[in-house]
Amino acid sequence: MAGNKKKKTKVRPLLPRPGARYTCFGDGLCCTDIHGIGPLTKKEVAQMRRIDRKSAGWNDDHDDYMLNTAADGGCVFLMSDLRCSVHAQLGPEAKPDGCRRFPLGLVATPVGGRITTEHRCPCRTMGDRPEIRPEDVESSISDGGSRPIADRRIKRIPLSAKKEIKFSEWEPIEAEYLNRLRGRESLLAILDAEPFPALRGSSWQGQAEEFIGARDGSQFGVAMAWVGDTIGALQNGRSPRPPGRPWATAFDRAQARSPKAGTSREVFGDWIADEVWSLKWAEDYSFALARAELATRLKIAEDICTRLRGSGARADRAAAEAVMMVEVVGESDFWTEVKDRMRVS
């Protein structure tokens, strides 16, 4: 329809995903070395340096401007009570944009701005959290004034490599997925995709070795080793030798404030639902590829979760730690390369 072609994307009204829950409890994970803390714009570097001359600068490892970390891997502005000193002394608007937004995001669609959340954050994945309300998060996803800023704009949906549909056609399809994800059905059955699809010019075993070799002393490197180790175990049945627990102290704090344990199914279902809702995949990939990619990371996460439970972790915490790892790795260039190699029609 000609009218639909002209339809623009918009950021208002702000639309949270029904059932998505989050508030910042200050578990402190996002202010530590998930990988690096940034990137920052040049203007933000200057602002941070005005507060502390050595707080930010060019980082060769990340090839970008980043906040500097202290010896414990935490941001130089992180106080011993895990509050941000910039926030405490100058207010939230004084923080770099990424700090203000995380773990929230915004995708502009023809019907409004979808509020999205990352799940590499125990405040998002564990405990008794309130439902996300636009009025509570609007300032985080807006610029200095009151203008919500979109991370991406999605008008049409690539269902497969050969089929693209209008956003209005996508909405009922997605609603059914989201509804099923809230239930008890097997998540792999809902995704209806084979994990570990064939890779162009590589093998899963080769990827596993590359991931294990990417350890760089950061917590990200430990998560990479977990994922690589698990891929190797799932592919070849070899016994995994999982490395230490990255970010365990932040999850200790999350567990201490969450007396009621949830199930791993709830944690995983909530994560997959937000991955679908975010429409990140629609920028470069099809829904068919996204389902195979999510099925792969889910399979890895479930295996990690089983091992963490075997070492005594509570079900919701084990799942939250597993999601943390597969999401951190999923956001990396390493995983983008894997996705680019996936052969899914």
Nearest to ligand SF4 of 90, 173 (CB atom): 90
Of 77 and 226, CB closest to ligand SF4: 77
Show the binding pattern over residues 170-199: x = contacts ligand SF4 (CB under 6 A), - = does not. ------------------------------
Total number of residues that touch ligand SF4 (CB under 6 A)? 11
C-beta of 31 vs 214, nearer to ligand SF4: 31
List the one residue from 15, 37, 233, 328 that touches ligand SF4 (CB under 6 A).
37
* Residue 31 in contact with ligand SF4, rule: CB under 6 A: yes
**Binding characters for ligand SF4, 120-139, by CB under 6 A (x = yes):** --------------------
CB of 117 to ligand SF4, least distance (A): 17
CA–CA separation, 59 vs 90, rounded Å?
25
CB of 94 to ligand SF4, least distance (A): 9
Prior bond of 39 cis (ω within 30°): yes
Closer residue to ligand SF4, CB minimum distance, 67 or 227: 67
Distance separating alpha carbons of residues 326 and 180, to the nearest angstrom: 22
Asked if 111 and 166 touch (Cβ cutoff 8 Å), the reply is no
Least gap, CB of 32 to ligand SF4 (angstroms): 8
Of 78 and 342, nearer to ligand SF4 (C-beta) is 78
User: Distance between terminal CA atoms of the chain?
Assistant: 27
- Residue number, 87 or 182, with CB nearest to ligand SF4: 87
Our CB check for ligand SF4 shows the closer of 38 and 246 to be: 38
Question: Three-state secondary structure along 278-301?
Answer: HCCHHHHCCHHHHHHHHHHHHHHH
> Do residues 317 and 343 make contact, with C-beta atoms less than 8 angstroms apart?
no
Residues 56-115 that bind ligand SF4 (CB under 6 A): 67, 75, 77-78, 84, 86-87, 95, 99
For the chain, where are the E strands, in sequence order? 14-16, 56-59, 64-67, 104-109, 112-117, 152-153, 156-158, 164-166
Least distance to ligand SF4, CB of residue 25, Å: 14
For residues 31 and 250, which CB has a smaller minimum distance to ligand SF4 in the complex? 31
CB of 270 to ligand SF4, least distance (A): 24
Complete DSSP assignment for 129-163: -PBP-HHHHTTTTB-SSS-B--SEE--EEE-SSS-
Report yes or no: 103 and 22 within 8 Å, Cβ to Cβ. Answer: yes
**Least Å distance between CB 23 and ligand SF4?**
15
Nearer to ligand SF4, 77 or 277 (CB): 77
Q: How far is the CB of 299 from ligand SF4 (least distance, A)?
A: 32
Which CB contacts under 8 angstroms, 24+ apart, belong to 310-318?
314/255, 314/261, 315/261, 315/262, 315/263, 315/264, 316/125, 316/126, 316/258, 316/261, 316/262, 316/263, 316/264, 316/266, 316/267, 317/126, 317/251, 317/254, 317/255, 317/261, 318/264
**Dist CA 39 CA 331 (whole Å):** 14
Tell the smallest beta-carbon distance from residue 284 to ligand SF4 (Å).
Answer: 28
Residues near 53 by beta carbon (within 8 Å), at least 6 away in sequence: none
Using CB under 6 A, list all residues that contact ligand SF4. Answer: 31, 37, 67, 75, 77-78, 84, 86-87, 95, 99
